[in-house]
Structure 1
Amino acid sequence: MKMKLTVPLLLLVLLSVTGLSRAQVKTSLLDLTDNMWGILPSLSRPANHSRIFYAVMFDAGSTGTRIHIYTFIQSDSELPVLDNEMFHSIKPGLSAYADSPEMAGHTVRMLLKVAKKTVPRLEWKRTPLVLRATAGLRLLAAEKAQLLLKQVQHVFDESPFLVPDNSVSVMNGTNEGILAWISLNYLTGHLNAQTKKTVGILDLGGGSTQITFLPKLRKTIESVPVADYVARFDIFNSTFELYTYSYLGNGLMAARLATLGAVGAEGLEWRVFKSSCLPKKFRDEWRFGGLTYQVSGDPDGYAGYKLCYQEVLKVVKGIIHQPYELKDSNVFYAFSYYFDRAVDAGLIDGVRGGMLEVRDFKKRAKEVCNKMTKYPPISSFLCMDLTYITCLLKDGFGFKESTVLQLTKKVNNVEASWALGATLDHFHNLNIH
Structure 2
Amino acid sequence: MRFPKLAFIFMFVGCLVVYLTYVKRHYEYSKTPVSDQLPQYRMDTHKHPTSSQVVSENFQYGIMFDAGSTGTRIHIFKFQMEPNEAPKLAQETFRAIKPGLSAYADDPEKSKEGLLGLLKVAKDTVPETLWSSSPLMLRATAGLRLLPGEKATILLDKVREVFSESLFFYRPDSVSIMDGTDEGSLHGTETPTVGMLDLGGGSTQITFALQDEKTIQTSPIDYVTSFQMFNISHALYSHSYLGLGLMSARLAVLGGFEGQPLAGPQELISPCLASDYSGQWEHAEVLYTVKGQKEGEPIYESCLKKVEKMIYKRVRKTEEVKDIDFYAFSYYYDKAVDLGLIDESKGGSVRVSDYIEGAKKVCNNMSAGGINETPFLCLDLTYISVLLQELDFPPDKELKVCYS
The verdict on a shared fold, with TM-score over 0.5 as the criterion, is: yes
147, 151, 155: which one pairs with 1:144? Answer: 151
More deviation, 309-318/102-111: 102-111
258, 267, 289: which one pairs with 2:262? Answer: 267
CA separation of 1:75 and 1:296: change in aligned 2, threshold 3 A = farther
**Alignment deviations for residues 205-236 of structure 1 (CA, whole Å, 9 cap, x no partner):** 11111111223322212222x31111112123
The offset of 1:66, in angstroms, is 1.5
288, 306, 309: which one pairs with 1:311? Answer: 306
- Structure 1 residue matching 2:181: 3-state secondary structure: helix
| Structure 1 Cα separation of the partners of residues 83 and 296 of structure 2 | 65
Unaligned runs of 5+ in 1: 1-30, 37-45, 186-190, 410-414, 416-433
1:340 equivalent in alignment to 2:334: yes
Equivalent residue number for residue 237 of structure 1: 231
1:114 equivalent in alignment to 2:108: no
Equivalent residue number for residue 89 of structure 1: 96
Equivalent residue number for residue 59 of structure 1: 66
188, 192, 211: which one pairs with 2:189? Answer: 192
* Identity percentage of aligned residues: 47
The offset of 1:294, in angstroms, is 1.9
**Alignment deviations for residues 255-276 of structure 1 (CA, whole Å, 9 cap, x no partner):** 1111111223333663322222
Contact 1:65/1:94 (<8 A) preserved: yes
Structure 1 residues 388-427: aligned runs within 5 Å: 388-394=383-389, 396-409=390-403, 415=404
**Alignment deviations for residues 301-347 of structure 1 (CA, whole Å, 9 cap, x no partner):** 555211111111133211101124333x2111112211211111112
The offset of 1:138, in angstroms, is 2.3
Contact 1:280/1:299 (<8 A) preserved: yes
For normalisation by structure 2, the TM-score amounts to 0.80
For normalisation by structure 1, the TM-score amounts to 0.75
273, 278, 287: which one pairs with 1:292? Answer: 287
The offset of 1:251, in angstroms, is 0.9
CA separation of 1:120 and 1:214: change in aligned 2, threshold 3 A = closer
| Structure 2 Cα separation of the partners of residues 71 and 159 of structure 1 | 18
The offset of 1:199, in angstroms, is 0.6
CA separation of 1:229 and 1:73: change in aligned 2, threshold 3 A = same
Equivalent residue number for residue 14 of structure 2: none
- Structure 2 residue matching 1:166: 3-state secondary structure: helix
| Structure 2 Cα separation of the partners of residues 94 and 117 of structure 1 | 23
Equivalent residue number for residue 216 of structure 2: 221
| Structure 1 Cα separation of the partners of residues 132 and 96 of structure 2 | 23
Equivalent residue number for residue 180 of structure 2: 173
**Alignment deviations for residues 152-200 of structure 1 (CA, whole Å, 9 cap, x no partner):** 11111122222135121111122211xxx22xx5xxxxx226x6x4111
- Structure 1 residue matching 2:216: 3-state secondary structure: helix
Structure 1 residues 42-53: aligned runs within 5 Å: 48=54, 51-53=58-60
- Structure 1 residue matching 2:111: 3-state secondary structure: helix
181, 205, 209: which one pairs with 2:204? Answer: 209
**Alignment deviations for residues 68-121 of structure 1 (CA, whole Å, 9 cap, x no partner):** 222332234643233333222222222233333323344323332332333333
Contact 1:280/1:298 (<8 A) preserved: yes
Contact 2:143/2:200 (<8 A) preserved: no
Contact 2:203/2:242 (<8 A) preserved: yes
Letter in 1 for 2:107: S
259, 276, 286: which one pairs with 1:281? Answer: 276
Contact 2:261/2:288 (<8 A) preserved: no
Equivalent residue number for residue 28 of structure 1: none
Contact 1:223/1:324 (<8 A) preserved: no
CA separation of 1:339 and 1:79: change in aligned 2, threshold 3 A = farther
**Alignment deviations for residues 365-396 of structure 1 (CA, whole Å, 9 cap, x no partner):** 101111124433452211111101110011x2
Contact 2:261/2:287 (<8 A) preserved: no
| Structure 2 Cα separation of the partners of residues 57 and 70 of structure 1 | 8
CA separation of 1:73 and 1:361: change in aligned 2, threshold 3 A = same
Unaligned runs of 5+ in 2: 10-48
Contact 2:215/2:318 (<8 A) preserved: yes
**Alignment deviations for residues 108-164 of structure 1 (CA, whole Å, 9 cap, x no partner):** 233323323333334333322211111112223462221111111111112222213
1:355 equivalent in alignment to 2:349: yes
| Structure 2 Cα separation of the partners of residues 227 and 386 of structure 1 | 31
CA separation of 1:390 and 1:77: change in aligned 2, threshold 3 A = farther
Letter in 2 for 1:161: F
1:161 equivalent in alignment to 2:207: no
CA separation of 1:287 and 1:120: change in aligned 2, threshold 3 A = farther
Letter in 2 for 1:217: D
Structure 1 residues 315-330: aligned runs within 5 Å: 315-327=310-322, 329-330=323-324
Equivalent residue number for residue 127 of structure 1: 134
| Structure 1 Cα separation of the partners of residues 346 and 101 of structure 2 | 29
| Structure 2 Cα separation of the partners of residues 107 and 289 of structure 1 | 20
CA RMSD of aligned residues (A): 2.6
Contact 2:350/2:401 (<8 A) preserved: yes
More deviation, 300-309/354-363: 300-309
Letter in 2 for 1:312: V
The offset of 1:250, in angstroms, is 0.7
Equivalent residue number for residue 431 of structure 1: none
- Structure 2 residue matching 1:210: 3-state secondary structure: strand
| Structure 1 Cα separation of the partners of residues 268 and 359 of structure 2 | 21
Equivalent residue number for residue 325 of structure 2: 331
